[in-house]
Amino acid sequence: MLKSKMVKHTYGKNFGTLLIIFGATLSVFSAVFFLGLRKNEPRKFADLACACTNFSGEIDFLAKTAFFEGNDFEVPELAFAKDSRKVLSVALEERWIEVDLSEQKLRAWEGDKLFLESAVSTGLPWWPTPQGEFRIWAKLRATRMEGGTGRYYYNLPNVPYVMYLKNDAVPSWRGYGLHGTYWHNDFGNPRSHGCVNLPTAIAKELYFWTQPALPDGKSSVFANEGNQGSRVVIHE
């Protein structure tokens, strides 16, 4: 009788151990499976604005389909347009850009003389455009931008006339900048993931007007000590 009780006790103990092992294995399997599914989801750029992985600045003439707000659509021909090289007069005063978040407007200045003014679309409340004084550190004629999640996921090839910004508080990898916009025409209202969305014609003007100066025949340029980026001031 004692032997029988000992067998039952041992069996029960072993069975309990097996259940624990099985449960732990199932948890690990579930975690691995879940992470595997997550790998197939669009990449999340919670800390990025207009993320870019190609800094060549070259137009991809084969990439003609974009995705934004749950819809596929054709990239307009405007994004592929060939640039006629603009020769701008040398400014006697500093060229700088002001972005007014409260008015949703951009103003480009030569000293205190207005060069141009335009309505823009800055960051939505949950993707705010940072405030402060910045410098343009890179200019790209075109690049693909991808980011967001769920219904906010976007994949936009050939974003035109990109001017990336940075300062001591907002590093370059955050991806904030000014750029042309072909996927909406709602300028004057916040619509972006933190960048300053510009009408493409305005972005083109600024792209050739700002520093660093773009060398002839090039589709990208990076600021350096001898070719510093223009100042950009963003405020409420």
- For residue 157, the surrounding DSSP H or E stretch is strand 154-166
Strands 95-100, 231-235: pairing kind: parallel
Compute the distance between CA of residue 76 and CA of residue 148 in angstroms, rounded to an integer. Answer: 22
Q: What is the domain partition of the chain in residue ranges? A: 1-40, 65-235
Helical ranges in the chain per DSSP H: 2-39, 200-209
Measure the CA angle with vertex 161, ends 159 and 165; round to 5°: 100
Torsion, Cα 126 132 133 139, to 10 degrees, reads: 0
Q: Which CATH architecture describes the domain 65-235?
A: Beta Barrel (2.40)
CA 33, distance to chain mean position in Å, is 29
Q: pTM for this one?
A: 0.78
SS3 219: coil
d(CA 27, CA 118): 55
From first to last of its 236 residues, what are the pLDDT tens digits of the chain?
A: 544 444 444 444 444 444 444 444 333 333 333 233 333 333 444 557 787 878 999 999 999 999 998 999 999 988 888 887 665 555 668 999 999 999 999 999 999 999 999 999 999 999 999 999 999 999 999 999 998 888 888 999 999 999 999 999 999 999 999 999 999 999 999 999 999 999 999 999 999 999 999 988 899 999 999 999 999 999 99
